Amino acid sequence: MFEGLPNEYDIIVVGTGIVESILAAACARIGKTVLHIDTNEYYGSEWSSFTLNGLTEWIQTQENPVTNINPQDDNERIMPIGNPLNVFRNIQLKWNIEKTNEQSSTTENDTPKITLDVLEKQSRKFNIDLTPKLYYATGGLIDLLIQSNVGKYCEFKLVSRLLLENNGQLDNVPSSRADIFNSNNISLIDKRLLMKVIMNCSSMAIEDLNEDENIPFIEYLKKQKLNDTLCHLIINSISLVDYNATTKEGIIKAKRYLDSIGRYGNSPFLYPLYGNGEMSQCFCRLCAVFGGTYFLRFPLAGFTIDSLTNQCSGIVATTGERFRAKDAVICNNSFMESISSNKNVIHRTVLFTNQSIKSSEKDEITYVRLSSPNEFGIHIIEVGSGSGCIPDGFFLLYIFQEKPQENINQIVERLLNLTGDNFTRANILGQLTFDQVETLSTSISSPVLKLLLTHGPDGSIDHDGAVNTARNIFHQIYSNGEEFLARAPDPEDIVIEDDGNTNDTSTTNTNTENENL
């Protein structure tokens, strides 16, 4: 199984989630030898995307048997792994359509009946995210993709439609000065007040807030003479914060939103073609280009610990083979046994539908945030066939809440009330629900030295927490000025030595400009 595989590396990375993949790429980029493994047969760990059949298989294979390994000598201690799939709980997939079409024949005027067989035949056209995320155009991950040149491995689409809950329906969010002044829902006086506040948020330094910094953001907005409707718009659709957020938090997030508009289009958000699972693989590709070694379905049994120094020296397979790490072992904390007692979870739901929540003449990627003064924000992302994530004529509707509060059935019912006759319960073909342990805010510390723990996704819509963790861990291991994910050279920048021959080596430039992801 391990024939030809070296048994010593500078870095061993366990798990192929986005944090681990960024770290593996960063270490390989500075010339370190990297072994990057995953006990799963797919990339992405908690950040994966699945075909329809792949999703069914994932649901059915939640067991990960543990093997006990004996120490080699008195100086070695074995720390067994836990089941990393324990971060997923209460998984249910329910279909509201028949398995097969029982009618033996149809006439020309009959509409083809949607059955599970029809969907499964198009399984490969599905890319269903376990962790749906959006990307701020000026956010940490997009900047990292440009900085490192990993952006050449991925493609994005603009999140073309932002919706807002308003007076019992879903309205389009004005995303530019022109949108605001063309809106029929805002009076001329309110338009001027709104533009003034938006311009202030965009240009204001946090220090300028003075005593307003720690007051509730809603109170600050009311001091600017905004009415309840405009306050609701800024809190839910620009700052994307809860009603109990401070002014400092609201201004910081509003600036990020406003700075992102215009970089790639009239929207602050991007969405990756073929789903969020692609992102981990992009960084894995960079790691492999710089010599990283990959091993999926790795039979991991545990970590080897030096009993004298309490340092992690490497990993051990279920077959007994040991692999040593000189600098550190990086591991997703889902492999720790203590994760099974974590009760902080994110409720996630995926609806399979045959109708958009709001009709449009073009294929849209839609984002809406539901929130009121006494609840935490509810994120809803809808993608159609243009995202490369679902066949034509169908939609994926992702629903999750940063801090679970409402029952998912209540959220779906609330959404149905907002969509009216345009989108009804009859349009929901199936529903996937599961709980995902949130390990960022309750991150556990490593019990041994040189074993550095990463975390899974949080309940936000962006990747800022993942990027910050990866950067911090990298500088914790390499603190002598090593650059974190320096730009990878373009093909035309690579000079190949040819033993004195002066013939030019032709190359093909497949990369695009920095800003063109």
Give the pLDDT score at 516.
45
CB atoms within 10 A of CB 209: 16
Is residue 240 one of the residues assigned to a domain?
A: yes
- Cβ atoms of 453 and 444 within 8 Å: the answer is yes
Interval 183-209: pLDDT, tens: 878 888 888 999 999 998 888 888 888
Give the pLDDT score at 230.
92
Quick check: helix, strand or coil at residue 385? helix
CATH number of the domain residue 227 falls in: 1.10.405.10
- Give one DSSP letter per residue of 140-184, joined into a string: HHHHHHHHHTGGGG--EEE--EEEEEETTEEEEPP-SHHHHHH-S
- Residue from 365, 357, 351, 381 nearest 460 by CA: 381
Is residue 243 one of the residues assigned to a domain?
A: yes
pLDDT at residue 15 tops 80: yes
Give the pLDDT score at 356.
96
Is residue 344 one of the residues assigned to a domain?
A: no
CB atoms within 10 A of CB 327: 16
Reported as a pLDDT band with limits 50, 70 and 90, residue 509 is very low
Question: Dihedral of the CA atoms 307, 312, 316, 320 (nearest 10)?
Answer: -20
C-alpha of 106 from chain center: 43
- Cβ atoms of 478 and 330 within 8 Å: the answer is no
Give the pLDDT score at 372.
83
Alpha-carbon distances, residue 203 vs 189, 199, 226, 259, 302 (angstroms): 22, 6, 19, 10, 51
Give the pLDDT score at 186.
85
- Residue from 81, 85, 11 nearest 45 by CA: 85
**In this structure, what DSSP letter does residue 494 have?**
P
Quick check: helix, strand or coil at residue 342? coil
Is residue 182 one of the residues assigned to a domain?
A: yes
- Cβ atoms of 232 and 218 within 8 Å: the answer is no
Q: How far apart are CA 454 and CA 501, in angstroms?
A: 48
Give the pLDDT score at 381.
98
Reported as a pLDDT band with limits 50, 70 and 90, residue 111 is low
Give the pLDDT score at 318.
93
Interval 26-48: pLDDT, tens: 999 999 999 999 999 999 999 99
Domain that holds residue 225: 176-260
Query: How does strand 269-272 pair with strand 135-136?
Result: antiparallel
Mean pLDDT across the chain, nearest whole number? 88
Q: Which residue has the tokens 């809406």?
A: 368
Interval 112-143: pLDDT, tens: 789 999 999 999 999 999 999 999 999 899 99
Give the pLDDT score at 113.
85
- Residue from 471, 454, 434 nearest 339 by CA: 454
pLDDT at residue 508 tops 80: no
Give the pLDDT score at 438.
85
Return all residues near 287 (Cβ < 8 A) that are at least 6 apart: 21, 24, 25, 27, 28, 29, 34, 36, 294
Interval 297-308: pLDDT, tens: 999 999 999 999
Alpha-carbon distances, residue 31 vs 226, 287, 340, 435 (angstroms): 55, 10, 36, 39
pLDDT at residue 282 tops 80: yes
Give the pLDDT score at 32.
97
Is residue 205 one of the residues assigned to a domain?
A: yes
Give the pLDDT score at 61.
81
Is residue 47 one of the residues assigned to a domain?
A: no
Q: How far apart are CA 368 and CA 371, in angstroms?
A: 10
**Number of domains within the chain:** 1
Phi-psi region of 15 (alpha: psi -120 to 50; beta: other; left: phi over 0): left
Interval 478-505: pLDDT, tens: 999 999 999 988 766 666 555 555 444 3
Alpha-carbon distances, residue 471 vs 23, 115, 149, 419, 476 (angstroms): 8, 46, 16, 42, 9
| Mean pLDDT lowest among 142-151, 245-254, 397-406, 500-509 | 500-509
% the chain with pLDDT above 90: 67
Is residue 57 one of the residues assigned to a domain?
A: no
% the chain with pLDDT above 70: 89
Is residue 266 one of the residues assigned to a domain?
A: no
Give the pLDDT score at 306.
95
Reported as a pLDDT band with limits 50, 70 and 90, residue 507 is very low
pLDDT at residue 512 tops 50: no
Give the pLDDT score at 511.
44
Give me the amino acid identity at 258: L
Helix or strand run (H / E) with residue 464: helix 464-477
Interval 221-234: pLDDT, tens: 999 999 999 999 99
